[in-house]
Amino acid sequence: GAGVSQSPRYKVTKRGQDVALRCDPISGHVSLYWYRQALGQGPEFLTYFNYEAQQDKSGLPNDRFSAERPEGSISTLTIQRTEQRDSAMYRCASSDHALASSSYEQYFGPGTRLTVT
């Protein structure tokens, strides 16, 4: 596709349920990032992948959060046993990190708005 896509765009779930958020990066992009954005705040880094390898997961808040990118393309962020404090916009970004890229630009998707009731 032309840009980064995410699904679903909106997700309402009950406390205690598991949710899976999907990110489809720009075709051919090597790196994929997950961010969480609370209302009135900037995006906060969660984790990132180069190809299928998870390089840094230091931003994941606790072990209820996990992410995978098994084939180096689409990624899923999973939140188990959701809590109300997990409510936020979850954003995905991708980057090509090609040798020709000198700025490591990250291209963001529209986000998934998660509401835990």
- Which residues lie near another protein (CB under 8 A)? 3-4, 31, 33, 35, 40-45, 48, 55-56, 59, 91, 93, 97, 102-111
Q: Please identify, using beta-carbon distances, which residue of 84 and 102 lies nearer to another protein.
A: 102
Q: Are 51 and 72 in contact (CB under 8 A)?
A: yes
Which residue type, as a one-letter code, is found at position 108? F
In the complex, what is the shortest distance from the CB of residue 18 to another protein, in angstroms, rounded to a whole number?
25
Which residue is listed with tokens 């032309």? 2
Task: In angstroms, give the least distance from the CB of 41 to another protein.
Answer: 5
Please, what is the minimum distance in Å from the beta carbon of residue 14 to another protein?
25
- Report H helices in the chain: none
| Residue placing its CB nearer to another protein in the complex, 59 or 74 | 59
Which residue, 44 or 68, is less far from another protein as judged by CB? 44
Which one, of 75, 82, 91, 59, lies nearest residue 25 by Cα? 75
Asked if residues 59 and 37 have their Cβ atoms less than 8 Å apart, the reply is: no
Helix (H) / strand (E) containing 68: strand 65-68
User: Which of 80/108 has CB closer to another protein?
Assistant: 108
Q: What is the DSSP letter of 64?
A: T
**Min. distance of Cβ 117 from another protein in angstroms?**
22
